[in-house]
Amino acid sequence: MSGYLWEKTGTATDEGAMRFMAGEDVVLDRELFVFDLRATAAHARGLGRRGFLSASDVGRIVSALDELSGLWAGGGFVLDGRYEDGHSAIESFLTERLGDAGKRVHLGRSRNDQVLAATRLYAVDALGRLVLLLRESAGAALERARDHAMDPMPGYTHLQRAVPSSVGLWMASFAESFCESAELCSLTRGWLNASPLGTAAGYGVNLDLDRGGVRDELGFGRLTINPMAAQAGRGKHEVQVVGAMWQAMQDVRRLAWDLSLFSTDEFGFVRMADTATTGSSIMPNKRNPDLAELLRGACATVGGCLAELQQAVSLPSGYHRDLQVTKPALVRAVRTTLDAVGLVPGVIGGTELRLGRMRAAIDASMMATDRAVELAAGGMAFRDAYREVGESLGSLGGIDPAESLRARVSAGACGDLMLDEIGARVAALC
Ligand code: ARG
């Protein structure tokens, strides 16, 4: 690495220390690069509108940035250890191509607000993608809920048989949970959708920058007003973004848990598609639900990223290089979550439901709660009804799960799944 933006004659930072400080930053900046390019073009145009850059310099800078975007997309420009970070790479490309005009682009900007802008654009984009994937996942679960609305399966509490339930209820629970997590991601996206550009190093600059114009060009909903508050948002926002992703991953984890449990021979309620299972290297008889297990494990990864971020944000006001530590955790959480949730619709749609096994696992004792509620509805005090049924569990009579499901008419329950309402919430996601 050579030619630092900040290099002055007569000073030199130790190469080993430089390597430690750069860490994997430049590689992680590959994720932020397209957003940094967009923000740099918007900044240059903003400078032009206020007369701080000539129209011809703006034109040349913007077309060099376009060229760099093209090269980047086609693999003709590589972001690696030759640069300290993505920001330096952009400026050196512009300076190499344009000479003096390239050297003018950093007027009124610091890498501190530059990295904030790129990170926010990246997070807004990632959350937007996640909302779509969660919507698809919710849609896939809803479809299975509709197809099997009244197919009985046991309902468990404490993993003990409790009451008759339905595949419809089970699948609709995922539709609603994914929808809820998508709503949280959407809210989080709106919350951080503010433009930090023009706050420079965290104290503003002695130029009347067109902050509003830059905000509009980049599609941000509002400005971060106070430059110190903009800096203070680094890490704080990442925690919230990764927290929202972790919530979505909790839904994925629950699904993965259910599938791995229900696909055991002991339960035998589902059979995961061959495309979602793997064999054993030693036991020829095995098919393993590795995909479900790794989806479950992905939640741990995202939770680890969240913990890492929470450790990183304990700083006084102003920029501190510690903040760079927020980047690996954010990028890892984003990649893991998008990859994992992207697989969910296929897993939901491709899992075979073994309805006979589910039905057979409902035993007569599971009708007890229905019976107690029936007696109580007929006038007996519930506690007395509970005792009476509890004392005669052996003589509960025949099992009719279908009747039990039909009778469970409390809103949202098996007899009234309200799938259209859940569907309307899913359709409203954006
Ligand atoms: N890589 C740095 C980061 O992520 C960029 C900002 C550097 N700013 C500075 N003042 N050294 O924070």
Q: Which residues pair with 352 in a beta bridge?
A: 271
In degrees, rounded to 5, the angle at the alpha carbon of residue 312 between the alpha carbons of residues 202 and 37 is: 50
| Residue 131 CB partners (closer than 8 Å, separation 6+) | 182, 185, 186, 189, 429, 430
- Which residues share a beta bridge with 152? 166
Cα–ligand 1 centroid distance for 85 (angstroms):
8
- Any atom of ligand 1 within 6 Å of the Cβ of 234: no
Q: Is 327 in the pocket of ligand 1 (CB under 6 A)?
A: yes
pLDDT digits (tens, 9 = 90+) for 285-318: 888 889 999 999 999 999 999 999 999 988 999 9
CA distance 396 to 365: 7
CA of 207 to the centre of ligand 1 (A): 22
Residue 165's φ and ψ, nearest 5 degrees, are -135, -170
Q: Of 54, 63, 280, 392, which one is the catalytic site residue?
A: 280
- How much is the pTM? 0.94
Instruction: Identify the pLDDT of residue 399.
Output: 82
Beta carbon of 272 within 6 Å of any ligand 1 atom? no
Residue 144 CA to residue 140 CA, distance in Å, equals 7
**Residue owning the nearest CA to atom 5 of ligand 1:** 111
Per the annotation, the verdict on 280 as an active-site residue is: yes
Q: What is the per-residue pLDDT for 2? A: 56
| Interval between CA 97 and ligand 1 midpoint (Å) | 24
For residue 212, what is the DSSP state? H
Distance 259 CA to ligand 1 centre (A): 44
Q: What are phi and psi of 149, to 5 degrees?
A: -50, -45
Coil, strand, or helix at residue 84? coil
Nearest protein CA to atom 11 of ligand 1, as residue = 321
C-alpha 331 – ligand 1 centre gap (Å): 16
Domains and CATH numbers, the chain: 15-107 (1.10.275.10), 112-209+221-360 (1.20.200.10), 364-420 (no CATH)
Is-contact 422 172, C-beta < 8 A? yes
pLDDT given at position 337: 98
d(CA 412, CA 417): 4
pLDDT of residue 284: 87
Cβ pair 173, 156 in contact under 8 A: no
Ligand 1 atom with minimal separation from the 87 CA: 5
Instruction: Pick from 31, 321, 323, 325 the residue to mutate for probing ligand 1's pocket: most ligand atoms within 8 Å of its CB.
Output: 321
Q: Which residues of the chain fall below pLDDT 50?
A: none
Does ligand 1 come within 6 angstroms of the Cβ of 323? yes
Residue in 283, 257, 288, 284 with CA at minimum distance from that of residue 272: 288
